[in-house]
Amino acid sequence: MTTGAGWVVVVPIKLLAAAKSRLAHPDRTALALAMAQDTVAAASGIDRDVVAAVIVVTNDDEARTRMVHLRGVDQSTEGTCGDRDTHPHVIVVPDVPDAGLNAALAHGAAVAVHRWPGTGVAALSADLAALRPSELQAALLAAPSRGRALVSDATGTGTVLLAAAPGTPLRPQFGPASRAAHVGSGARDLTAQLGESVRGLRRDVDTLDDLREAVSLGVGPRTRQVLAAGPSAAGPSAAG
């Protein structure tokens, strides 16, 4: 068990076969995995005094295997992790509840609190193909020292980041109109404060239009590789 300040970021990855059902692209599954890898890589690229660790919560075998290729990944077979002298920057844990996104996030938060007491916990969407480490760092540094805070998606209705200060329950309510749900439960909305500086953080990818915008912002290397290898989602030919 380790202690210290900063944040633990929790990234849930659903079974890839069911991921991104609204993304009408022939490489939908590969894109879902690539975007998750780029998201986790961006989160793990932040200095450890800000982000102590990244927890990936998934029951997908392919996602688990691919995450091993990211630097410093540890695969845990238990719902909580045992004591260690040092911690990896990224760990992968199974989705023990297996009861949807919010249950997976609550489970990841419990792992974080057990292993890194004294840190805040932040839930991060897994489909942020254009995320930059500096954007996530800016959002976490803007979060208040007490309570919860959020950053909304590009449409202003969803949530891409929900941060709970040390000692504050995460209480995730992701899903339709999650921004309103989180604000209604007391979370502070940081979106306007951060403004244009976090466009990549706010650009989650559910549709081809979302993907085109993410490409225009500059996607991560794994997403870029999938797009280069198959039919382009950024061009007119992908519209169908």
Q: Cβ contacts of residue 49 below 8 Å, gap of 6+? A: 5, 6
Q: Which amino acid is at 112?
A: A
CA-based nearest residue to 161, from 137, 184, 185: 137
- Residue 1 within a domain: no
In a domain, 110, yes or no: yes
Quick: pLDDT tens for 136-159. Answer: 999 999 999 999 999 999 999 999
Q: What is the distance between the alpha carbons of residues 201 and 162, in angstroms, rounded to a whole number? A: 12
Domain encompassing residue 109: 7-229
DSSP-derived 3-state class of residue 81: coil
pTM score:
0.89
Q: Can you tell me the mean pLDDT for 202-212?
A: 97
Which residues touch 25 (CB under 8 Å, ≥6 apart)?
A: 31, 208, 211, 231, 233, 238
* pLDDT tens-place string over residues 71-83: 545 555 444 343 3
Average pLDDT score over the chain: 89
* 239 falls within a domain: no
Averaged pLDDT, 107-120: 96
Domain count, the chain: 1
Pairing of strands 90-93, 159-164: unpaired
Tell whether 205 is covered by a domain: yes
- Residue 181 maps to a domain: yes
Residue 234 belongs to some domain of the structure = no
| Within a domain: 201 | yes
Amino acid at 126: A
How far is it between the farthest Cα atoms of the chain?
53
* 40 pLDDT above the threshold of 80: yes
Is residue 192 included in any domain, yes or no? yes
Angstrom CA distances, 47 to 18, 31, 54, 96, 156, stand at 33, 27, 12, 29, 29
**80: CATH:** 3.90.550.10
